[in-house]
Structure 1
Amino acid sequence: MPDLDLNALSFSELKQLQKDVDKAIGTYETRRRAEAKAELESRAKELGFSLSDLLEGPAARKRVSVPKYRNPADPEQTWTGRGRKPGWIAEALAQGKPIEDFEI
């Protein structure tokens, strides 16, 4: 670090220096993170990868639940059998109807 004679600076220069130091402190972590990321990207490129290829991993598959039950009164209403029971199922079960009556 260069030697800085603070006694040789004017009041306005000291205030500006203070602002510059506060800004440097505030952005220190961001700058360090950017440097680390650049270093990792460079190393990944040397190995024939992009950094995002290494971090993201295999594409996540989203599971799509297939409906198992259908409302006979309204065929548009279906239920997968997972989660909270829809009102039409709960009502039918409360009336004593077996759930098998609603299977698709």
Structure 2
Amino acid sequence: MASYKQLTAQLEKLHKEVAAARDKEVAQAIADIKQKITEYDLTAEELGFANTRTVARKAPSVAKYRNPKTGETWSGRGRSPAWLAGKNRDRFLIEV
């Protein structure tokens, strides 16, 4: 039976072999993919990679309520502000 040191040495050798084999196969896969992209003139959008670097952001919320004393506004989303708590919201609606 192999000793612990022998087994760990074998394991380390196998890890290195696995990493080398993966690097070689990944390089070949990338070359194949690049060749197909060129051959078929594919775009990132066609491959499903559109907008991967840009994050779609929501437009800012439009204010629906205004505090006449301070001018502070609230869109109606999220927690109600303290200045509006317990009051009739219709009085604070912004006319559009």
Higher share of residues assigned helix: 1
The aligned residue for residue 98 of structure 1 is 88
Runs of 4+ in structure 1 off by over 4 angstroms are 32-35, 58-61
Give the partner amino acid of 1:23. Answer: K
Structure richer in strand, relative to its length: 1
- Structure 2 residue runs without a partner (length 5+): 1-8
Q: Flag the 1:71–1:39 CA change in 2: closer, same or farther, 3 A.
A: farther
Distance 1:34 1:79 in 2: 54
Pick from 71, 79, 87 the counterpart of residue 82 of structure 2. Answer: 87
Give the TM-score normalised by the residue count of structure 1. Answer: 0.52
Distance 1:35 1:66, change over 3 A: farther
3-state DSSP of counterpart to 2:76: coil
Determine the C-alpha separation between the residues in 1 that align with 2:41 and 2:34.
10
**1:81–1:29 Cα change, 3 Å:** farther
Offset at residue 87 of structure 1 (A): 2.0
Rate the CA distance shift 1:83–1:24 in 2: closer, same or farther, 3 A: farther
Please report the RMSD computed on the Cα atoms of aligned residues, expressed in angstroms.
Answer: 3.4
Q: Is the radius of gyration larger for structure 1 or structure 2? A: 1
- In structure 2, the partner of 1:78 is 73
User: Matches of 2:92 and 2:20 in 1, distance apart?
Assistant: 62
Which amino acid in structure 2 is aligned with residue 57 of structure 1? A
Taking structure 2 as the reference length, what is the TM-score of the superposition?
A: 0.55
Q: Give % identity.
A: 31
Q: Within 5 A, what are the aligned runs for 1:16-95? A: 19-25=12-18, 27=19, 31=23, 32=25, 35-50=28-43, 52-53=44-45, 54-57=47-50, 61-64=56-59, 65-75=61-71, 77-90=72-85, 94=86
